[in-house]
Structure 1
């Protein structure tokens, strides 16, 4: 059950139009090697789910600069000028999501939970709809977010959020064994495990590859069952 391979072989199944959950938080824990190889492979029209979209010359910003990304679901986009330009010019579709909700949507997808209710976003365009997903060239809104179901639980309104499942996940870990068990370093644990869970096929780059049994089971942050 040796799951180790090269980045090129691991990414060979990703084709245009694929959806990707990409780990990382800010510039921490980004699968930069996988992103660089994917860029060299020339794959485009990617639909990306990630907390943020890198910066102009790092992380997912490399794919974005070459217009390889057609849609982004994320929480924070304030450090990438090209991202803002493409979005406002109608070249990029963007679904903004509260950070905790995004994390739970990924986790739910990995656990087989189709949807869940949360109070986050009630009373805003997150629940009511109308957030601009894509602009037209003239600056008008070409596509807006739909309204979501709202229900009251114990007297508090909650909005229904759907889980996220993607075709692939790209994640980065500090250590992994050949069975796919992963250990993340500090805050790199924020989104990487959740993205791996949500990906139908999860691909992990590791700084240190060890043999099965060398990682204490109590130290495993993500079991190898989630990593292909």
Structure 2
């Protein structure tokens, strides 16, 4: 039982008024304490009602108006003054769940996944640039994106090959050696804007990686 229920079941407004020094006559009437009342115009029993100012309510409302309290504070005052037991509902403290730390293996797996995705996206973009900006016979100079594709595609191909087929030790060594380079490539992809995503998607309709591992190993001499 909460404090409101306990008080309302245990104390009448008349009992509270008399405890707090307000005289009530035999007819259950008293001078209203809420306005300048010269003749008893308030009826107090289980509830109270003033026929002069219209004040009305139960014992908690009466105590709240009498002492300028909110309803809960008035109910708690009545419970204390009349020694009324009630159930105290304390707010449950939120127990913070311990944050589960990722293991070194989990962190490595996430790093490897990120590294592969960036390299794969860049590889597809290079293949698109190689087709889209291939020079025509009448071109005097090659487009810089076509040149970048020629310069970088074999190297990126080799790095992807390692991540796909080599041992975990070799993959970890690659990530350590080329981590900064992959971060630069991620920024490069970002600088290419949203149009690059469509280009990557279009390029990805072709086989993602070459099927001849030997040719990839030849390009790996760049390491």
TM-score band, normalised by shorter chain? under 0.3
TM-score (norm 2): 0.20
Structure with the higher fraction of residues in strand conformation:
1
TM-score (norm 1): 0.20
Structure with larger RCO (C-alpha < 8 A, sep 6+)? 1
